[in-house]
Structure 1
Amino acid sequence: MIRILLAEGAPLLRGGLAALFDGMKDLDVVAAIGSGEQMLRTARSQRPDVALIDVGLPGMDGFAAARKLREAVPECSTVLMAGRCRNGDLRRAVAARASGFVLKDTSPGDLVDAIRRAANGARVVDPDVAFQELSSAKSPLTERESEVLSLASRGASAAQIAEDLFLTIGTVRNHLSRINRKVGAQNRIQAIRIAEEAGWL
């Protein structure tokens, strides 16, 4: 019996997935929850074999939840699930040490197969996600520019970024100007959006 922890933000989809898995003789949904924080508490008590995690979980996103789950319950395999294929998602999944990445429009049979394969220690990647990752452009940003833009994306001001990275405010502003030129943005907000869509953040 494969014990599954289901973490999906949308109640209707969560219920449908739980019903799908409960209809399989070898699958047992030990919990179906809607937030990352709740998922970690439940995983520690239930010790599931596989966690199916929505990347868009409220509060703590699925990538962060998968990473923390790997630390808290290392024997649990994680399969991340997304509504659409974005550049960089597969890299984020690998960085979070997830066992797999599937799209929400996958067939029920393929999803069940992914859960079973993950439980057996296999890697599971949706072909569309793999193709998207292979075709995505390499980031034009340096490591320092990526750090600056990452902090900016979390709402940090130039002064806060300078303090966090031990730089002068002028240096931070120069970095932001170079970032805008490299990604073809007119301002910081647009640069963040472009970088996120390209999977560079």
Structure 2
Amino acid sequence: MVRTLLALKGALVRGALAQLLAAEDDIDVVGEADTPDELRSALRAERPDVAVVDGDLVTADQLGDLASDRPAGCPDGGPPGRLLVLVQQRRAARLGPVLAQHSRRIGFLSHDVAPGRIVEGVRQLADGRVVLDPDLVVAALAVADSPLTPREREVLDVAAEGHPVRDIAERLVLSAGTVRNHLSRIMAKTGARTRLEAVRIARESGWI
């Protein structure tokens, strides 16, 4: 039985996927989460084989930490579970470093993938197989020519949603001053005069 945790935004989305997975004879949904803190706590408490994670719920750094974490109570710390991350293609660029370091532990599928593909992905990850959407891999590798650092891409990615500096800082666990410094450097590197223009340039260039 594949013990599966769901960490997705929106109770309706989580509920629908939970019903889909629970209908499978070899999959057991053992918990749900909708914040990074709840996800980390649930991973330690439930020790699932696979966690299906919304890519908008966590940053690239948080994904890397979760993939490297060791659940409490396991012998010698125990191996971490595997993560199946659902990502919007336009945001795949920020995942390049994670993809390179954790491809055996983290699988990536498009946000728009058919529900049956998620079921298949859960089974594949549980079996230790690699799960990667080819289009996401291409988008992730596009960061090679980006002048932005991984942290700058994360800041701009969140800023693109229209969040103020305070909310960006809270989401990325940074100070407001650090976020402002990142935004200033981003605008200098992109040659943009406004934050919206920096977002447009970065998106057109495939950097976020």
TM-score, L = length of structure 1: 0.71
Structure 1: stretches of 5+ with no match in the other structure: 163-172
The offset of 1:63, in angstroms, is: 3.4
**Amino acid in the other structure paired with 2:91:** R
**Residues 116 and 135 from structure 1, CA distance in 2 versus in 1: closer, same or farther, beyond 3 angstroms?**
same
> How much does 1:12 deviate?
0.8
CA deviation after TM superposition for structure 1 residue 66, in Å: 2.7
2:39 match: secondary structure: helix
1:169 paired residue number: none
Q: How far has the Cα of 1:103 moved from its partner?
A: 1.6
Q: Which amino acid aligns with 1:7?
A: A
Question: Does the residue aligned with 1:6 lie in a helix, a strand or coil?
Answer: strand
Q: How many residues align?
A: 181
Distance 1:56 1:87, change over 3 A: closer
The Cα RMSD (Å) is: 3.6
What is residue 170 of structure 1 aligned with on the other side? none
Between the aligned partners of 1:147 and 1:127, the Cα distance in structure 2 is 24
Letter in 2 for 1:183: T
What's the TM-score once normalised by structure 2's chain length?
Answer: 0.69
Q: 1:64 to 1:28 in 2, by over 3 A?
A: farther
- Following the alignment from structure 1 to structure 2, what is the Cα–Cα distance between the partners of residues 149 and 156? 17
Shift in CA distance, 85/188, structure 1 to aligned 2, threshold 3 Å: closer
Kindly provide the CA deviation profile for residues 124-179 of structure 1, in whole angstroms up to 9, marking residues without a partner as x.
111321233356671135x6xx7778789754369x859xxxxxxxxxx8xx4xx6
- Distance in 2 between the 1:28 and 1:147 partners? 36
Q: Is contact 1:9-1:54 (8 Å) kept?
A: yes
Gaps of 5+ in 2: 72-78, 160-168, 170-175
The yes-or-no answer on 1:75 pairing with 2:80 is yes
Displacement, 1:82?
2.3
Q: 1:31 and 1:69 mapped to 2: Cα distance?
A: 16
- More moved, 80-89 vs 9-18: 80-89
- Indicate how the Cα distance of structure 1 residues 147 and 89 shifts in structure 2: closer, same or farther if over 3 A, else same: closer
